């Protein structure tokens, strides 16, 4: 973790600690640096205007004035749980790791009372998520779609037959409760839908994809929509 990321993470750790605060030693252990380094980081945060005070004596440490330090995030407990539930229910979705990281950032900056109520309410929401592709495969597919380069896929179809092919990723789609990579298959010279849990390997290349229109895929059903909507 670089220093900029560590400074942000220290501030969030102090917010989570609330009025209990954190000692320099506990922060040093969490971030795997020396206590001297943590104290320099804390001094830097105070110089940048983070409203922090040092509490002396037994059990002392560093405490934030949360009334002055909370960012303008005003979620209630139900809204916070809704974010967590949406991310948990789509564990196999593309960019799932990024979604979980973003949700953690949001939950880190809500006020402690709301966070506590959200954590209690979250225990009353269960999800049962179907299988997805391993993270290493999703990372390759996500990067290829974002960079618009081709992917060498190893794919197992419904009959158990394994094929290898180079494809041009076009969209990720959720249909019938399953996630697909919709791509132009260079072997078939046509659009193909690949179920993510059947992708056995994926390696992004450096070959740029042609600018194919998404309309090449066909007309989506009336109930389908892009996530930006």
For residue 212, count CB atoms less than 10 angstroms from its CB and return exposed for 0-12, middle for 13-18, buried for 19 or more: middle
Dmax (CA) for the chain in angstroms is: 73
Report the side by side order of strands in the sheet with 178-185. Answer: 190-195, 178-185, 162-175, 149-156, 199-208
Where, residue-wise, is CATH 2.30.30.520 in the chain?
135-217
pLDDT in tens, the chain (229 residues): 778 878 888 888 888 787 788 899 999 998 889 999 999 999 988 888 888 888 776 666 888 876 554 455 567 888 888 888 888 877 778 888 888 888 887 787 777 788 888 888 888 888 877 777 888 999 999 999 999 999 999 999 999 999 999 999 999 998 888 899 999 999 999 999 999 999 999 999 999 999 889 889 988 878 787 776 4
For residue 161, count CB atoms less than 10 angstroms from its CB and return exposed for 0-12, middle for 13-18, buried for 19 or more: exposed
Multiple choice CATH, 3-69, 3.10.20.440, 1.10.10.10, 2.60.40.10, 1.10.3720.10: 1.10.10.10
Q: Give every CB contact of residue 107 below 8 A, 6+ residues apart in sequence.
A: 80, 83, 84, 115, 118
**What CATH class has 135-217?**
mainly beta
Q: Give every CB contact of residue 215 below 8 A, 6+ residues apart in sequence.
A: none
């Amino acid at each position: 973790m670089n220093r900029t990321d560590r400074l942000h993470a220290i501030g969030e750790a102090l917010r989570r600690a609330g009025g209990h605060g954190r000692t320099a030693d506990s922060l040093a252990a969490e971030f795997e640096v020396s206590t001297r380094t943590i104290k320099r980081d804390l001094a830097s945060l105070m110089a940048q205007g983070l409203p922090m005070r040092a509490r002396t004596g037994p059990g002392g440490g560093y405490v934030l004035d949360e009334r002055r330090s909370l960012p303008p995030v005003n979620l209630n407990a139900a809204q916070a749980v809704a974010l967590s539930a949406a991310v948990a229910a789509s564990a196999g979705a593309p960019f799932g790791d990024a979604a979980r990281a973003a949700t953690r950032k949001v939950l880190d900056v809500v006020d402690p009372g709301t966070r506590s109520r959200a954590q209690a309410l979250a225990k009353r929401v269960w999800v049962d998520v179907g299988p997805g592709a391993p993270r290493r495969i999703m990372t390759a597919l996500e990067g290829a779609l974002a960079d618009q380069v081709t992917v060498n896929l190893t794919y197992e179809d419904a009959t158990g037959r394994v094929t290898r092919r180079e494809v041009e990723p076009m969209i990720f789609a959720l249909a019938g409760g399953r996630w697909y990579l919709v791509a132009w298959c260079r072997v078939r010279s046509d659009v193909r839908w690949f179920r993510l849990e059947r992708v056995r390997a994926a390696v992004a290349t450096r070959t740029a994809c042609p600018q194919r229109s998404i309309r090449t895929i066909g007309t989506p059903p009336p109930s389908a929509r892009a996530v930006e909507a």
